[in-house]
Chain A
Amino acid sequence: MNDSDPLKDANSLKDAGSLKDADSLKATAHERQNPATGAAPGAAPDNAAVVLPRLGFFGTLRWAWRQLTSMRTALFLLLLLAVGAVPGSLFPQRPADPAVVTKYLQDHPDTGPVLDWFKLFDVYSSPWFSAIYILLFISLIGCVVPRAIAHYKAMRSQPPRTPRRLSRLPEYGTLEIPAARGIPAGEAIRDAAAALKSRGYRLEIRDADGDRPSVGAERGFTKEVGNLLFHTALIGVLVSVALGGLFGYSGQRVLVEGDTFVNTLVGYDTFTPGSNFDAAQLEPYSIQLDKFEVKFDRESKSHYGQPLDFKATLTTKSSPSSSAQQQDLKVNSPVNLGGTSIYLVGNGYAPVVTVKDGDGKVAFQGPVVSVPSDGAYTSLLVVKAPDAKPSQLGFVGFFLPTALINDKGVAVASDPDPFNPQLNLNSYFGDLGLDAGQPKNVFTLDTSKLTQLNGRDLKAGGIVLSPGASYTLPEGKGSVSFDGIKRYVALDIHHNPGQGWALIFGVTALLGLVGSLFLNRRRVWIRTGNHADGRTMVEYGLLARGEDHRLAAEATAIRALLEKRWLAPGAEQAEDSNGAQSSTGRTSTGSATVSKDQ
């Protein structure tokens, strides 16, 4: 039967001699995929490499552009991006932690500056990291634009012409309509077209009244749309991030219970403006910290003292004239005010201290923000009294919410709640170095020009105070008293006009990605022909563009549709030939295809 069948060429796979056919298939399969730009996957490098020797200046430019927008380069840049991002996690980064970087540079005087020269402490704003992602995105644009144009054209043009040898396609099968059914080739092709249409194919019938009519059909354009959407949306994400960097700002403020923050430049402890920031952007809202409550785990033995809840009660005013509002601020649930978001990022104790100078005058009074260094809130603090007379006074020490004397006789913190608060201080007098006009870190005391008065190793010993107690400094330098405890919160305040956009583009990218990965783009061709003995011979072939493990299932479904149309209504005389036919059909499919169902 095979021999007599003019359409069937089940062996064509093995007789690889006919290269012309291979070429015609290739042309069909690729005619819309390889736009002249060569941006299609895999196509560019080879073309470009061949053209190389005969290039002029513009030719060279074109060649460079093609190289840049080739799939291979994109892959290379992607991997480079991954590698380039890693050092940022190995070395401390200035934007996140400038103090750690400074310390690193001090500790590594040899290697530190070299690393710094390579911008390894500012990886994500370094020229080389920027170069990688800018090149990547140029490549992306160079890739997406021609592909979008090509795809737009493809969507508007007819399905590709029918290859001469369908049997070379990855899915191939044949059917024959018995003569008794009286369906000539022309009618069969229209039937086939209707069947394909019902499966959502866009199609074109060729040569309907000719000898060997065929239909070309295609579906799954959304796959490519998804891919383009995904890549374009990535550009959108990048632009949104840049937008946030230009017009956004962020700042930090430490607020002790009872204090008020007003959203003006002077209100911030630190402030990082975006490059296009304008102080007029700040809306003068105010926040007062009424109370800060902390709950620690008191039930569990294993996690005793672990924090369970932090809650700040705020009184906010969206402008100086508007009415006051009560709001709660917690970790993971920011307060939004005046176009900014306010976050609870830290907390601690602020012991209230009064320092009197040698003249008996109050040189400093108020809460001192201490920095917790462990889970039991062993908190470091520095008190500076530059106004003290006759000499300036400074104190360094730590605050323990629950002090416990350990077996070495040293006071340590044993619990984060203030069950037995204690202030341990060393005192100094002399020049605090504040007058030089340089900004000084409030959490460190430069002792180079100071003389120590109190300390564990000195005769006078260290200062140990419980709430309400006071201590008179040696040599008549004054006194210090521990008046009480307040809590404070550390707030981060952010304004980022880009983040909403980043989210929109991110979601778009995700949808595009899903479409691109899980939709399938396929082409189907069906050809019919009248056999001399009255049978109508049908052959079909399927081709996927991109990964498509369901191509075989699609072939089966199409075959079933066609069989139902032509062979199903139990025409007796068709039965045995049918049975035989479908099994040969399947066998030939089986042998002509290579593991379809991957």
Chain B
Amino acid sequence: MPQINETFALYSERFMLLAAIAYAIAFIAFAWDLVQNSKTTKAVLAHSEHAAAAKSRTRVGVMAGSMVTGSNGSLDPEIEGPEGRVQRPTFHADASARDTGITADDSMRYGSERRVPARVAVALTLIAAVIHGAGVLSRGLAAGRVPWGNMYEFCTTGGFVVAAVFLIVLTRRDLRFLGTFVIGLVLVMLTAASVAFWTPAGHLVPALQSYWLVIHVSIAVMSSALFTLTFAMSVLQLVQSRREGALEQGRPDKAPFMRLVPSALSLENMAYRINAIAFVGWTLTLMFGSIWAEAAWGRFWGWDTKEVWTFVIWVVYAGYLHARATRGWTGTRAAWLSIVGYLCVVFNFTIVNVYFAGLHSYAGVG
């Protein structure tokens, strides 16, 4: 067993601290982006509202709220449900709205407008993630093993994966509106790691010395990172759909910054796509976990607390996938299931690891 390298361990902690600072600034930049855009769009809105006053329909500058005209809602009732679900006609794309280019259109591709704060925020996130990655790597080098063997390491590595997944998705889709949310969560994870779960670098107890640790836990962490993104989207979806409903009834816009955020339906669809991938990941987590359990304890399933919660999460997300195919359960209800699923993930990770006795008591706390 290689010796613990204290120098690397020290570096790791410095990197974590630096990363946290960079994330904090990125967080502020993302928030600034939201505020600034809500101002810009307000201006655009006032302008176009003025111009469009003669027309019967108000043209809100950005897609979200304005899409819900309801007048086109009669595409074909039967195309709802699993068939052509994607086209659920809760909104209708307004070409001129996209042309303002202030934000991504509903496909969440990048618009034409340069959003300086958002760019700064993404750049900072990238820097933070690189430093964070160096921190995770040096922690691994310090211990001579994969850096996910206790709560401190789950949190730091998990946070890194969340940021990395976010950045990877950003290369393809404009999810910058999620920035405050996601980076906020990463900050929470880093803070929790260093305040509540701090553990010096060390070797693994025999129960964790298995290549299944590498496979099972890494997939669990990646799936959780994806669930984190969809959780953020589902929350925004709920807010957005309330706002859309209010706007449709001609009530004032109480959350103007939400103009930056795509429509509830696009959020739902994007969350579904990511949840589908994460669900496969979670299925793998469950399967690899039970193979490991078989190797370690001689039974692949024993309703240990950790197993129970992994199962509960799996079933909740299976319910979510079903909901998306069940009439009357798409939209808001599906979003709630996605949120409940994520709360279970968080519960499984924190409360169950720390307070519940079980075979999985390796949290390395206390």
Contacts and interface: CB of A to CB of B under 8 A. Distances in A.
A88 B352 CA distance: 13
A303 B208 CA distance: 15
Interface in A118-173: 123-124, 168, 170
Interface in B242-294: 265-266, 269-270, 272-273, 276, 279-280, 283-284, 287, 290-292, 294
B203 A548 contact: no
Contacts of A345: 297-298
A595 B270 contact: no
B75 interface: yes
Nearest to B85: A547
Given A299-B3, A547-B86, A595 B93 contact: yes
Contact of B299 (A16, A81, A306, A496): A496
B54 interface: no
B283 A41 contact: no
A241 B311 CA distance: 15
A510 B298 contact: no
A442 interface: no
A408 to B, nearest CB: 22
A42 B82 contact: yes
A549 B273 contact: yes
Contacts of A496: 299-300
A544 B80 CA distance: 11
Contact of B82 (A334, A545, A551): A545
Contacts of B284: 510
Interface string A70-96: 011011001101100110110001011
B294 A499 contact: yes
A89 to B, nearest CB: 4
A86 B308 contact: yes
Contact of A75 (B273, B309, B329): B329
A486 interface: no
Interface stretch (B179-187, B231-239, B312-320): B312-320
A544 B308 CA distance: 37
Contact of A85 (B3, B75, B311, B322): B311
B202 A546 contact: no
Given A96-B302, A514-B280, A170 B84 contact: yes
A548 B324 CA distance: 13
B81 A42 contact: yes
A206 interface: no
A331 to B, nearest CB: 4
B296 interface: yes
Contact of A334 (B298, B300, B321): B298
Contact of B107 (A297, A518, A598): A598
A86 B93 CA distance: 43
Contacts of A595: 86-87, 91, 93, 106-107, 265-266
Contact of B78 (A16, A29, A591): A29
Contacts of A88: 303, 308
Residue from B74, B83, B95 having most chain A Cβ neighbours under 10 A:
B83
A96 B303 contact: yes
Contacts of B194: none
Contacts of A81: 315
A502 interface: yes
B294 A26 contact: no
B36 interface: no
A459 to B, nearest CB: 40
Contact of B303 (A29, A93, A309, A503): A93
A457 interface: no
B40 interface: no
A332 B203 contact: no
Nearest to A297: B203
Given A79-B316, A545-B82, A303 B327 contact: no
B191 interface: no
B306 to A, nearest CB: 8
A559 B106 CA distance: 23
A551 B86 contact: yes
A333 B95 CA distance: 62
B70 interface: no
Residue from B3, B319, B323 having most chain A Cβ neighbours under 10 A:
B319
B14 to A, nearest CB: 17
Nearest to B329: A75
Contact of B72 (A13, A86, A123, A517): A13
B101 to A, nearest CB: 16
A162 B280 CA distance: 36
A4 interface: no
B200 A302 contact: yes
Nearest to A518: B276
Given A82-B319, A85-B308, A503-B291, A300 B203 contact: yes
B84 A303 contact: no
A287 to B, nearest CB: 15
B325 interface: yes
A55 B169 CA distance: 54
Contact of A306 (B109, B203, B308, B324): B203
Contact of B86 (A507, A510, A548): A548
A310 interface: yes
B195 interface: no
Interface string A25-50: 11001100100000001100100000
B283 A33 contact: no
B296 A71 contact: no
B280 A506 contact: no
A42 B74 contact: no
A594 interface: yes
Nearest to B327: A42
B217 to A, nearest CB: 14
A543 interface: yes
Given A82-B319, A96-B302, A598-B107, A302 B202 contact: yes
A165 B294 CA distance: 57
A418 interface: no
Nearest to A248: B299
Interface string A570-598: 00000000000000000000110111111
Contacts of B273: 547, 549, 598
Contacts of B201: 300, 302
Interface string A486-516: 0000001110100100110011011001100
Nearest to B71: A14
B269 A598 contact: yes
A74 B320 CA distance: 12
B205 interface: yes
A255 B325 CA distance: 55
A250 interface: yes
A170 B316 CA distance: 31
Contacts of B7: none
Interface in A283-335: 297, 299-303, 306-310, 330-334
Contacts of A95: 302-303
A591 B210 CA distance: 56
A399 interface: no
Contacts of A302: 199-202
Contacts of A75: 319, 322-323, 326, 329
Given A16-B74, A300-B4, A549-B269, A492 B298 contact: yes
A341 B266 CA distance: 51
B83 A308 contact: no
Contact of A30 (B83, B290, B318, B324): B83
Residue from B75, B326, B356 having most chain A Cβ neighbours under 10 A:
B326
A598 B264 CA distance: 12
A201 interface: no
Interface in B149-184: none
Q: Which 3 pairs show the lowest CB-CB distances between chains A and B?
A: A303-B202, A302-B200, A598-B269
11 contacts: A79-B316, A82-B315, A86-B312, A95-B302, A170-B79, A297-B202, A300-B4, A300-B203, A302-B202, A543-B83, A544-B84
Given A306-B205, A330-B206, A493-B298, 10 more contacts: A42-B81, A79-B337, A82-B316, A299-B4, A332-B296, A494-B299, A496-B299, A510-B283, A543-B83, A548-B86
